[in-house]
Amino acid sequence: MLTSMMQQSTVEPPPAPPSPDQLAEQIRAQVEAARLQAEVAREQGQAARDAAREAARQAAREAAGLGRSNAPGEAIVVQPPFTPDMIPPQVVDITTSFFVMLAFIIVGLPLARAWARRLDRKAVPAQVDAGVASQLQRIENAVETMAIEVERISEAQRYMARLETERGGGREAASLRSGQR
């Protein structure tokens, strides 16, 4: 028994340290194994993403009630349900602008017409009093009378000037006049 124990208790010598070439080969093998594991994990991740996208598309189709499969890359349009109390803000702005414009027209149009009529009434000349009108008539008649008299005087002067030139000049006419006096 003792011999059998001894044989079992023999210690095996430690393995010899690997050489640098063996170490480099082991490192390369481990790096290659890690690279293959990463590539497999990447492919599994891509497959999981694709499956999640397809599940989301299917859920959207079922929610929209389409139930048919879309081609890859085709857009899915899902409209939210419309409720009567939901009004877009642009509609509120347009409606407000319309009613403000309508009120402005209803109030502004009669005011504009009244202002235009007032301007038209001011354009009519004021009536002249009867006394002023008679004075103006007398002044007009007096001016016409003076104009006629001035015309007669100028005609008489032209006639006299023509007679003097026909009789032989201005000197003889002057001596005749002085002799007649």
Provide the CB-side half-sphere exposure for 5 (13 A, CA). 2
The per-residue pLDDT for 109 is: 93
Question: How far apart (Å, rounded) are the C-alpha atoms in residues 114 and 108?
Answer: 10
> What is the mean pLDDT of the segment spanning 141-168?
93
Distance CA 171, CA 179 (A): 12
Mean pLDDT of the chain: 82
Q: Which of 26, 8, 28 is nearest to 17 (CA)?
A: 26
**Pair 51, 65: CB distance under 8 Å:** no
Tokens of 3: 């011999």
Residue 71: per-residue pLDDT: 66
Q: Is the pLDDT of residue 181 over 50?
A: no
Predicted confidence at residue 78, as pLDDT, reads 72
- Domain ranges in the chain? 24-79, 89-124, 127-181
- Global confidence as pTM: 0.28
For the segment 22-51, what is each residue's pLDDT rounded down to a tens digit? 888 999 999 999 999 999 999 999 999 999
User: What pLDDT is attached to residue 176?
Assistant: 58
Q: Taken in order 116, 117, 122, 123, is the CA torsion positive or negative?
A: positive
